[in-house]
Amino acid sequence: MRYFLLLAALAIAATGCSKMTSAWLNEPQAAVQPASGQSLDILGQVGTTPAARFETPAYTGLQQNSFTELGADFDPNVSPDGRQIVYASTRNSRNSDIYVKKVEGQTVTRLTADGANSIQPVFSPDGTFVAFSSDRNGHWDIFVMTADGQKPFQLTNGLSHEVHPSWSPDGSRICYSAYNDRSSQWEIWVVEVANPANRKFLTNGLFPAWCPSPAVNRIAYQLPRQRGTQLFSIWTTDLVNDEARYQTEVISATRDTAAICPSWSPDGTKLAYTTVLVPQNDPKTGAATKPKRVDRGDDIWVAAVDGTTKVRLTGDGTNNWSPTWAEDGRIYFTSNRSGCDNVWSLKPLDTNIIQATRVKNVRVGNTNGPAPVPGLSPTNTGGNSSVTTPSGISPSTPNVSTPSSGPLSANPNSPPPTFSPPTGTAKTPPAAPPAAPVALSPLFSPLPQATLEAIVAPITVPPVK
């Protein structure tokens, strides 16, 4: 009898095991099968609904800092004392101007109003000056004005396009990107603020950011690969005797994601940056590939410069661009989460906890952050005010001609197309000057361009009607 029962048990086991194919082992099976037919698997997926997400933010204290409902606010930068934000905006016209406001308030003060485009403002380390890019002379140049918008003077005046200024820690020099018409490449240059004729080439790259820590003479920038998808990665280079040395790729582009717009933490140990999702087509089927969930783009990330940590701060399906770090540790950035491009900020959690575990691409729990720092409004002293300037700077004779709209390159490997800042939310293509349609790729634009569906291929922007 025992022998017969043993044979029966073996037969039943063999029959059951024959149904456990490799596909069965690879697919989560229903743990509950209700009468409605909506099964529940071990991953928390009910029927055909997406699997449940168990992710907690890696930040605290998310808040909105600008409140435009028309146009866009973008390119934020925080004053060294943490009280003011300077940024570019198209809230009042199709041309972008520079504005400044309290960190917490809603009253804004316009610093430029010359009919041209002014973008990418950045405070000097002592907070007395603002450098920015403008096309008021027909092409993009670097300008410097006082923090209250007075006495602008032109720092670069070459025939090429020069954008994205970033101050050295002592405020004596500025690095920026210049487009080389001969090589069709963006280059990084350094210029002395007191002596603009003294400038020096460093390396190829775009959107440089000078490390604010005096102990680290280093510049971060984005650089496209020369093969494959040619997507941007984040690089750093040390300045040794004013020469670019030890060029290091800190954040690598993935197959579907570019890394752009680096910004240093105040202590120079971390970088905040933006990832941009760029779906690729499968070479076999031609269909768009589905990227890994952790690498999906248009988010703000923080990474340690030594490569031991990479943490995504945002991941809610909105477009988040151009992060910049404040002295109190908050990160300010542009986002369309309010339905229109505005300036937002958040407080990252302590990434050193993650660094100690050597775990990549993780999220940590939420905590309560410090209260935001109250701000002060800028003082507009008028055109004849007495302004203290760094030694050797003479801002009294600006070189400004008739404002006109000029081009800015959208791709480091192609001639620069005509540029126009965005005029709507992050899902509205930017407007172009009333001329022939131009090619504009948001991936290579200095502004938070909105049409990301075709970010690899250039986007044709129709003329303004």
> What is the DSSP secondary-structure string of 119-175?
EEEEE-TTSSEEEEEE-TTSS-EEEEEETTS-S-EES---SS-EEEEEE-TTSSEEE
- The whole-number average pLDDT for the span 49-54 is 58
Model confidence at 69: pLDDT above 60:
yes
Q: 413: which 2 tokens?
A: 């490997």
pLDDT averaged over every residue in the chain: 72
Pairwise CA distance, residues 219 & 189, whole Å: 11
- Rounded to 5°, the CA angle 232-238-241 comes to 140
Pairwise CA distance, residues 237 & 262, whole Å: 13
Model confidence at 41: pLDDT above 80:
no
Residue 230: phi and psi, rounded to 5, are 55, 35
In this predicted structure, what is the pLDDT of residue 288? Answer: 65
- The whole-number average pLDDT for the span 97-108 is 94
In this predicted structure, what is the pLDDT of residue 36? Answer: 53
In this predicted structure, what is the pLDDT of residue 415? Answer: 39
How many percent of the chain have pLDDT more than 70? 59
Q: Strands, E, within 241-317: which ranges?
A: 243-251, 257-264, 270-277, 299-304, 310-312
Q: Looking at 219-228, 304-313, 340-349, 366-375, which range is the least confident one? A: 366-375
Model confidence at 226: pLDDT above 90:
no
pLDDT tens-digit readout, 408-424: 223 434 334 334 444 44
| Banded pLDDT at 211 (limits 50, 70, 90) | very high
pTM (two decimals): 0.68
Strands 299-304 and 173-180: unpaired
Find residue 280's DSSP bridge partners: none
Pairwise CA distance, residues 59 & 346, whole Å: 6
Model confidence at 64: pLDDT above 80:
yes
Task: Report in angstroms the alpha-carbon separations of 250 from 192, 208, 233, 235, 310.
Answer: 28, 14, 8, 5, 10
Q: Do residues 186 and 206 lie in contact, with contact meaning Cβ atoms separated by under 8 Å?
A: yes
- The whole-number average pLDDT for the span 4-24 is 42
Q: 185: which 2 tokens?
A: 């490449």
Pairwise CA distance, residues 62 & 64, whole Å: 7
- The whole-number average pLDDT for the span 421-435 is 36
Q: What is the DSSP letter of 219?
A: E
186 contact partners, CB below 8 Å, separation of at least 6: 177, 178, 179, 180, 204, 205, 206, 409, 412
Pairwise CA distance, residues 219 & 234, whole Å: 11
Nearest one of 295, 301, 294 to 351, comparing CA atoms:
301
Q: Looking at 225-239, 278-292, 368-382, which range is the least confident one? A: 368-382
Nearest one of 131, 85, 90, 70 to 419, comparing CA atoms:
90
Task: Report in angstroms the alpha-carbon separations of 376 from 106, 108, 161, 273, 464.
Answer: 12, 11, 34, 28, 38
Model confidence at 29: pLDDT above 60:
no
Which structural domains are found in the chain, ordered by start? 59-357 (2.120.10.30)
In this predicted structure, what is the pLDDT of residue 445? Answer: 37
- Could you tell me which residue, 446 or 82, shows the higher pLDDT? 82
- The whole-number average pLDDT for the span 100-119 is 94
- The whole-number average pLDDT for the span 273-279 is 86
pLDDT tens-digit readout, 349-392: 875 544 433 333 333 333 333 333 333 333 333 333 333 333 33
Element (H, E) at 8: helix 2-17
- The whole-number average pLDDT for the span 266-279 is 90
pLDDT tens-digit readout, 134-150: 999 999 999 999 999 99
In this predicted structure, what is the pLDDT of residue 366? Answer: 32
Model confidence at 51: pLDDT above 70:
no
- The whole-number average pLDDT for the span 203-220 is 95
Model confidence at 83: pLDDT above 60:
yes
In this predicted structure, what is the pLDDT of residue 277? Answer: 83
Q: How many CB atoms lie within 10 A of CB 172?
A: 17
In this predicted structure, what is the pLDDT of residue 372? Answer: 37
